[in-house]
Amino acid sequence: MITTYLVPRREYAQSNEFYPTQKLFLRCIIHGMTDKEIAGFLELSIKQIVTMKRDLIQKMEVKSLTEVIRKSFHLEIVNPNDYVPDLIKMESEKFAHELYLISLNMNRSKHTLGFITAYFKVYYEKCKLRLKNNSQTPNLNTREMEYLRLKYKMLSDIEIAGRIKCKRSELIKIRRVLLRKVGANNLYNAFRIAFNSQLLLRKNLELYFKNNLKRHISRVINALEDVTYTEKERKLLIYNILIEFYNSIEYRHLLMGFPKPETQSIIKAKINAA
């Protein structure tokens, strides 16, 4: 039986830790489940789900559930590696196996480093292509596209209504139609789908790619050279490095607007002390 939401709302909001049900709720939202589906899974009422959303927004000092999700990733309350698409897992497994086989006849050198660098680039481009080919580009009109873009930048409904010159009440309909067209139950997953279908474009991708590449390549070389690993362990380690590399780029854009990693511990301490 799932641990139910039995803590009184005031105590829940002021608690200095995240309850198992709270974490499960976040995972369900990230997976794109509806309120009704989440209520059934967690054995809660719809009213309790609504209360949980409100308490999370208050606890994390943000303005929306989308910001709750983004901040949860930043504070490592949830782990990006738990939400890797199956297509990316398949591609990572394939590349890890191929890289291991090719590396058997290679020694560490500039040529080897250059080869692995090129392999990482091919891997990431292949991942993007697989996701794009598996996604249908939603046919959004100008207002819906602008709403999606501005929400991604974390503008409020008041600000968006002023930008696209419409009543705030009209935004409810725009959002509902947008989510239906994109095939998502919340804006966080709408952003993820929009990136996969290239409705939203990743800015400064090449620069971030290069900055992030060196650390992961170094880990792969170390994994290939460490004689203490078995063949299976080596492949699994390379697979995990590829997944982490993909996520480091993917979530850099999904989590846009939040502090850099070195400030996360300070923010987490502040939230836990609330």
Look up tokens 């996360």; give the residue.
Answer: 264
Question: 29, 83 in Cβ contact below 8 A?
Answer: no
pLDDT tens per residue, range 25-43: 999 999 889 999 999 999 9
Instruction: Pick one of 2.60.40, 3.40.1000, 3.30.70, 1.10.10 as the CATH number of 9-81+263-273.
Output: 1.10.10
| Beta-carbon contacts of residue 269 (< 8 Å; ≥ 6 apart) | none
pLDDT tens per residue, range 50-97: 999 999 998 888 888 888 988 888 888 888 888 888 999 999 999 999
* pTM, to two decimals: 0.73
Q: Which two tokens stand for residue 201?
A: 């474009």
- φ and ψ of 187, to 5 deg: -70, -35
Choose from 8-22, 103-117, 169-183, 259-273 the range with maximum mean pLDDT.
Answer: 169-183
